[in-house]
Structure 1
Amino acid sequence: MPHYIRFLKPPKVVAALKTGCFVETLITITTDLGDAFLAEDAGLLSILQITDNNGLIIESFEETSSWTAGNRELKISFGPCQLAAAAHAARLSVRDASGGIVDRLEPSKAPSIVTAWSTSFGIAAGLQAEKLVERCFKLEIGPHLKAWEETGNSIARHIWDAALGCVMEIQNAYMRLDGSIPTLQKLFYEQKDTSLRVIELGTGCGIVGISIAQIVPHCSVLLTDLEEVHDIINRNLECATLARMSKAQFWVLDWDEQVPKQIAHHGCDLIVVSDCTYNADSLPALVQILTALVRISPSAIVLVALKKRHDSEEVFFDLMKKAEFEIDSHTVVPLPTLDAENESIDIELYAFRKDPPVDS
């Protein structure tokens, strides 16, 4: 499975002298949920960029380091670096030394170790970066997909593996590649005169919904989740470059409550659910809100992306069947891993639709 570089301690200048400055950070490399550390050796490349007031790079420094199997954290240091003007800012990236400049999230290609970019931080000693990390992915279609996530303990504001697989399937279907979900292909191209209406549930950082708005022209995407993700979503929406005539916005949606009028009025042709089936306790509410949304838009397709973590997730399929949803089509997107067997991890994607009423 992919592993993610995270800043345990955001980078900061620990000393600023006349001869140069010293920058330090503390990183870890974990799974999407942070429940396991990378158990293989890996070479890392760290790049410190100094930018001027216009954001242009005026200096760049590189350091190589090694992550050793068994590590839980790794300190990375720069210095002495030639001191730039105090008004200038710095930014640090840490990546797999064997990877490319930008992580590729193209069909059948995904990073084994996902690069981390810090926010900008001041040259003056003690001014550290925010507790955020930016991910940047090169897509097959359109501009790079960028998303900020938090470095703290809230997994609601982290990127999960299923999101990467779902973005890859969105590209596959839009490009009409073999093996992608036919229902999704048709949906992307059958909307002739009206916008494709998309609602994402449990959007988290918003990477899936934003990717749809960046890839598919003439679509309207509602990213929904609880209020706690509002700030990170807005930040990611601000840095998104959307496709022609497409738009995306965030609305608060609690699965235990009625569908707000604004969301009901929006309607939906596609409902996206990425990695929301891991918590068995929330599954009745999830199926309940899906049922409510499809009652509003009876022809809507429900796209579910998941990485099966335990057997309890099978309850979701039982509940969907009881709610008269049927699986229209299914595909698998493999993600790479760095374990000794070099096996991939499968992201499963299902397209559901509501059973048609039986004529009496």
Structure 2
Amino acid sequence: MHYMRFLRLPSIERGRSNFYIKIVVTISTDLGDSFLDPEEPIEISVIGAYPSLKDGQKTLVPVILTPGNAPRWRAGMRVLKMDLPLPSDQIETVQVRPSNRKLAALGTFDMYPATGEGLILGAYADVSSSPATRAPAACFRSLRLTTADTAATTALQVQEDIGDSIARHIWDAGILTVSLVADMCLRPTAPLSKEPLPLLSAILRRRDRPLNFLELGCGIGTLGIGIARVLASMTPPEQGEAGHVLMTDLPDAERWARANITRCLGQAQSSHGAMPRIDYENLDWNDGKDGVFGEKAQSRPWDLVILSDCTYNDMLPTLVQTLSAIHSHSAQRAVAEDTPTDTKIMLSTKLRHPSERAFFKLMSTDGWLVEEKTILPLPVLNAEPQTVEVYLFSKNIKMKHQWQ
């Protein structure tokens, strides 16, 4: 799929007779290595929001900034620059997205199940008219958690970098897997035989006790926070804590992961469900392979280890050894706490190179077996078909499996 991206922070300027906002965007893939090349021009909507007080409470009022001759993204473009007049200098937030609803990813149902929509994910940015109080160099994504049968009760919001680092951006596998999990957990219960991943669905829907999730290579936190928001939506407040989600990565990711945890917890104050506890801790797989974990990772047995788009790098043996070390730690911790725990792995990946298949052979050699698998089509516009593969691994389970 494609993503609208701010190439710089939107800035509000004063003209001779009015205010205007300068916006520079592009539309590219998750890695930024390919630009959208549509057959027909795509009209772009820019929606601002300004503050208003109602009953003593601050609310944001939306206003369309492109009501007439809307800008268009055309084949061959790399950058779209816009100077748009403003009703005032009080605009706090700007959203850019396709005007055509069938092209815009507004909710998880737009991406899974495949509906032919959800082709382009819009972007938001906070703005300021004062150079002294410029917003940080970040934008954010907002995606309603929806299904075919239910309206959105909450949304996933994640902040990402305005810059070139692909490690600090949203990736295809994470956002599509969140859409899958939302569909599994938020729509009315269906027979497990009709689920694409019935065993995973059963784990996510468990109610006998709060579940513990450990994420490896979390990046900005799309998958971990997305699962936390889904759990909160399906857990009534009276049930108490909905579980524990610990996100881990290298120190470079910490700032962004923590910023998104803070954003998520801020949203949770206005939600109606029980929010899982969400935390972050640095974890280097070079340490993890030797069973060296931080205090938080050691604090409990883990029901489900989750990771997305982590098979692209050259540390596959180290990753597999870390997964096995987590399984061993969890087994020991479960015995000590008398808490039956069978740690499983949920992996989602958009395979970008044949060499990534080595991961599955390494997992098999280390005693991991695939319990179930599904292939999800990505929404794409004027491009070759693309997919995300989702696996549930279990260790030391006697079952027949043939690698595909």
Compute the TM-score of the two structures, normalised by the length of structure 2: 0.80
SS of 2:6 mapped into structure 1: strand
Bigger strand share:
1
Residue identity opposite 1:244 in structure 2: A
Question: What are the superposed Cα offsets for residues 133-172 of structure 1, whole Å, 9 maximum, x if unpaired?
Answer: 1111111264111111112122111110001221122123
Give the C-alpha shift of residue 229 in structure 1: 1.7
Q: Report whether the alignment pairs 1:246 with 2:246.
A: no
Q: How does 1:94-243 map to 2 (within 5 A)?
A: 94-99=96-101, 103-106=106-109, 107-108=112-113, 109=115, 111-119=118-126, 121-124=127-130, 128-140=134-146, 142-174=153-185, 175=187, 178-192=194-208, 194-216=209-231, 217=235, 218-240=242-264, 241-242=267-268, 243=273
Question: What are the superposed Cα offsets for residues 33-53 of structure 1, whole Å, 9 maximum, x if unpaired?
Answer: 011111113221112333358
Q: Conserved in 2, the CA contact under 8 Å of 1:259 and 1:292?
A: no
2: CA distance between counterparts of 1:102 and 1:36? 19
2: CA distance between counterparts of 1:296 and 1:126? 49
Structure 2: which 5+ runs fail to align? 147-151, 236-241, 332-341, 400-404
Q: Residues 17, 125 of structure 1: CA spacing in aligned structure 2 closer, same or farther, 3 A cutoff?
A: farther
Question: What are the superposed Cα offsets for residues 187-217 of structure 1, whole Å, 9 maximum, x if unpaired?
Answer: 123440x310000111111111112112123
Give the C-alpha shift of residue 20 in structure 1: 1.2
Q: Report whether the alignment pairs 1:261 with 2:259.
A: no
Q: Conserved in 2, the CA contact under 8 Å of 1:162 and 1:274?
A: yes
Q: Conserved in 2, the CA contact under 8 Å of 1:11 and 1:129?
A: no
Q: Conserved in 2, the CA contact under 8 Å of 1:301 and 1:352?
A: yes
Question: What are the superposed Cα offsets for residues 84-116 of structure 1, whole Å, 9 maximum, x if unpaired?
Answer: 4xxx44321110110278711124156211111
Give the C-alpha shift of residue 59 in structure 1: 7.0
Give the C-alpha shift of residue 128 in structure 1: 4.8
Q: Report whether the alignment pairs 1:347 with 2:398.
A: no
2: CA distance between counterparts of 1:213 and 1:238? 13
Question: What are the superposed Cα offsets for residues 54-77 of structure 1, whole Å, 9 maximum, x if unpaired?
Answer: 753467242221111111111011
Identity across the alignment (%): 29
Q: Residues 227, 125 of structure 1: CA spacing in aligned structure 2 closer, same or farther, 3 A cutoff?
A: closer
Q: Report whether the alignment pairs 1:65 with 2:80.
A: no
Q: Residues 38, 24 of structure 1: CA spacing in aligned structure 2 closer, same or farther, 3 A cutoff?
A: same
2: CA distance between counterparts of 1:131 and 1:338? 29
SS of 1:184 mapped into structure 2: helix
2: CA distance between counterparts of 1:89 and 1:157? 26
Residue identity opposite 1:123 in structure 2: S
2: CA distance between counterparts of 1:207 and 1:179? 23
Find 2:30's aligned residue among 32, 43, 52: 32
Compute the TM-score of the two structures, normalised by the length of structure 1: 0.89
Aligned to 2:336: none
Aligned to 1:44: 44
Q: Residues 348, 62 of structure 1: CA spacing in aligned structure 2 closer, same or farther, 3 A cutoff?
A: same
Give the C-alpha shift of residue 254 in structure 1: 0.9
1: CA distance between counterparts of 2:142 and 2:246? 22
2: CA distance between counterparts of 1:272 and 1:286? 12
2: CA distance between counterparts of 1:18 and 1:51? 24
Structure 1: which 5+ runs fail to align? none
Q: Conserved in 2, the CA contact under 8 Å of 1:47 and 1:62?
A: yes
Aligned to 2:149: none
Bigger helix share:
2
Q: Conserved in 2, the CA contact under 8 Å of 1:173 and 1:184?
A: no
Q: Conserved in 1, the CA contact under 8 Å of 2:105 and 2:120?
A: no
2: CA distance between counterparts of 1:303 and 1:36? 28
